[in-house]
Structures are given as C-alpha cells and as structure tokens.
C-alpha cells in the first residue's frame, strides 16, 4: 500500500464546547496518511493520475475554516467523509490535534483510521 501524506497542516477554526471557545479561532494541527496507488502517476508523470495533495489541502482548509463543530471527533469524521466521497481515498489515518486544550500538555486530539487498506 502506498501512502500520500500531509504533515502538521495548521488550520484555524472555531471549535470547542465552551462559550469562550465559540468566540475565537483556534489553530488545529492535522496529519493525514491516505492510501493511494502511486504507480499510475509514477508511470505517466501526470497529476491527473495522482492524488493531488494540494487539492486535498485546499478543500480541507476551506472546510475546516468554515466549520464550527464542538468536538474534534465530529471534525475528524467530516474530513474522512470528504476524502472518501470527493477524492475516492480508500483508507485514511488522520490525527487532529488541538494544542493548548489541556494545561500541561502540548496537544490533545484524536487519531482515527477509516476505510479498507488496499493490498
């Protein structure tokens, strides 16, 4: 199985369940690992045969910036839905980190794995 990845993608959004969180934007950090057979793109050297990570990043930035979920769990599932339905990603490992959410920790968040691993 080949992996296309995006590491430490920072996006600002409104997220959280407390009133003060609903009035500010917070920076989230995303790590994505997406299953993708890179052999067709390697053979053709053409973007239309690749998983366009720039297009993925632009779409997720637009989605996350305008979303106003309370839970990172909900946001993570919405990201999986977009990648599955719009980009036809068969498998995803996603980490959504919320820095500063717990005093004394660098970051908290969720790590999900969805879909079927090809191969």
9 Cβ neighbours under 8 A, 6+ residues apart: 29, 30, 31, 32, 57, 60, 61
DSSP letter string, 31-58: EEEEE---HHHHHH--GGGS--HHHHHH
Query: What per-residue confidence (pLDDT) applies to 104?
Result: 85
Concerning whether 98 is annotated as a catalytic residue, the answer is: yes
Q: What's the confidence (pLDDT) of residue 66?
A: 97
Mean pLDDT by 10 residues, the chain (119 residues): 96 94 95 97 97 98 97 98 98 95 88 89
CA-to-CA dists, residue 35 to 30, 51, 64, 80, 84, angstroms: 16, 9, 21, 12, 11
Q: How far apart are CA 43 and CA 36, in angstroms?
A: 14
Amino acid 1: pLDDT: 85
Q: Write the DSSP assignment of 56-100 as a string of letters.
A: HHHHHHHHHHH---S-HHHHHHHHHHHHHHHH--SEEEEEEEEET
> Nearest CA to 33 among 61, 53, 5, 58?
5
Q: What is the pLDDT of residue 42?
A: 98
Coil vs helix vs strand at 20 = helix
Instruction: Please give the pLDDT value at position 3.
Output: 97
What pTM was computed for the model? 0.94
Quote the pLDDT of residue 115.
96
Among 10, 25, 61, 98, the one annotated catalytic = 98
What domains can be seen in the chain, in order of their start residue? 3-115 (3.30.1130.10)
- Alpha carbon 108 to its chain centroid, in Å, reads 15
């Amino acid at each position: 199985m080949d992996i296309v990845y995006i590491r430490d993608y920072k996006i600002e959004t409104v997220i959280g369940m407390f009133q003060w969180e609903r009035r500010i934007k917070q920076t989230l950090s995303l790590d994505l690992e997406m299953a993708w057979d890179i052999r067709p793109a390697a053979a053709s050297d053409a973007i239309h045969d690749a998983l366009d990570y720039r297009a993925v990043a632009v779409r997720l930035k637009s989605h996350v910036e305008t979303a106003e979920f309370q839970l990172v769990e909900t946001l993570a599932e919405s990201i999986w839905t977009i990648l599955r339905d719009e980009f036809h990603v068969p498998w995803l490992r996603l980490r959504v980190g919320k820095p500063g959410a717990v005093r004394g920790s660098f970051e908290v968040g969720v790590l999900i794995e969805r879909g079927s691993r090809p191969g």
